Amino acid sequence: MPLYGEVLWTKLGHYRWWPAQVMFPDELPQNVLKMTHDVGQFAVQFCGSKEFYWMNNGRCFPYQEGDSDRLPGGAGAGGSSLDSSFVKGIQEASKLFEEYMENKSNAEKLNESKVRAQPHLRPPLYTKIKSNKPYGDCTIHNAGGHIKCDCVETSNDPCGPTSNCINRLLLVECQPNVCTMGDRCGNRMFQKKIYPPLRVQHTKTKGWGLFVKNDIKKGDFIIEYVGELITSEEFKKRIGNMLNNKDADQNYYFMVIDNSRVIDAGPKGNYARFINHSCDPNCETIKWTVNGDTRIGIFALEDIPANTELTFNYQFEAFGEVKKPCLCGAKNCCGLIGEKLPPKRPTAGNTSVVAVSKKKKQKKDKKEKISINKYDDWCYRCYNSSTILDEEVENLILCDFKGCLKSYHLGCVSRDTVPHGKWFCPWHHCVTCGKLASSWCDHCPNGYCKNHAAPLKKHPVLKNVCDEHVVSFIFILNQFSRELNQI
């Protein structure tokens, strides 16, 4: 709708388009106020003639700078009195438009000065979006092959946190066209945008922050982190521009989503962009697969009472020489965002503390050794090491299932390209129906659920053997036993 004082082009009856100004109600004569008009209409005063009329939004459009230079040919040059009145109206509209734009600019400058003096008046401007928006040549993945869960309609919490939904266990949201639970499905947090009541509030030391209005339980989904979806090249470009500006007060809203894409919630985002960093956070970020693409959600690490500020660890990677100071105020604060926490040293003469610290150090060294050899360096399907051929090293993909250390060549799992987001090897799914496997072959990645475990045979020497190679293995063992008997 037009604003009071704004200059418009209006159309009345068979007359030409005429410039007019939107009037305040208290500026109108009584006879004009008493005129019959519909809801939504506004009063205008025609430039030049000074007459009033009630206008609707469909019969006008905004006056723009330079319209006074586009007079029709012959207007006011020896024409009728209507033409001279029209030229006069054009000239008056040009002056009114300049005054209106000058007053608008002064009001914006005054408002900006107030915001700088009192930054708690309102948060910085950004474009509000509900889901990730791709920028440039960055794309949103949409892979198929979704798994149908085993949840039943009689369950009290179908596909919910207390259920054994296979999709929830794999951090994958159910799809409406696959899941049989319909609207009762409790595994569509990202798709339904089920967020608790949140509010953006100015803090004492950390600027703006995000607070929760109601109590939140541990593990609850709070909000999705959304923004512009950009490529790694665009991310490097934006970071370079920000570093060249050398603005110490600028904020970074980048979050890596995978090896080729980054979320930038600076220009566009939602309330998640206001969550501050903390060395002792009450929230964490977890990657989920939604409709075939990776999404990032904020989840509660602990029970959070109402009116509490939400925080998570940025795990910030510093660019350049200057690091941003940490203002979280936690007892274990490291002082700088992204700085590793210093190790705790025992006090002199305290033998009990020293003994405990040695145990912790041994456990830490053990964990470090495990992390070095986290994944097997050979393919679990063909048993060939990835170090045999240099070109095979890049084709070795790793399973993202929790606790699984298996790795495969792309050709051994019938894939041509590296999968996007999380990928789970076939060892975790039944080869017959695709459900979560409960028993496995000890000699290949074949897995079976409870209903399709018939092909799996137990052998005293070979242990669990599937029907793909049970005959050949038994034949080899029999041959080997005959040779031993002959010897």
| Cα dihedral 447, 451, 170, 259 sign | positive
Q: What pLDDT does residue 436 have?
A: 77
Q: What pLDDT does residue 125 have?
A: 80
Q: What pLDDT does residue 358 have?
A: 38
Q: What pLDDT does residue 407 have?
A: 79
Collect the ranges in the chain with pLDDT lower than 70: 70-82, 112-121, 143-146, 246-249, 316-323, 338-378, 381-395, 403, 414, 416, 420-421, 434, 443, 461-462, 468-487
Q: What pLDDT does residue 69 have?
A: 73
3-state SS of 359-397 is HHHHHHHHHHHHHHCCCCCEECCCCCECCCCHHHHCCEE
Q: What pLDDT does residue 482 have?
A: 60
Selection from 57, 39, 55 nearest residue 1 by Cα: 57
Q: What pLDDT does residue 240 have?
A: 85
Identify any residues that bridge with 54 across adjacent strands, giving them in sequence order. Answer: 43
For residue 369, what are the contacts with CB-CB under 8 A and spacing of at least 6?
A: none
For residue 458, what are the contacts with CB-CB under 8 A and spacing of at least 6?
A: 464, 465
- For residue 224, with 0-12 CB atoms within 10 Å meaning exposed, 13-18 middle and 19 or more buried, which class applies? buried
Selection from 160, 138, 305, 279 nearest residue 218 by Cα: 305
**pTM of this prediction exceeds 0.95:** no
All domains of the chain in start order, with CATH: 7-117 (2.30.30.140), 127-144+159-312 (2.170.270.10), 390-486 (3.30.40.10)
20 vs 49: CA distance, rounded Å = 10
- For residue 180, with 0-12 CB atoms within 10 Å meaning exposed, 13-18 middle and 19 or more buried, which class applies? middle
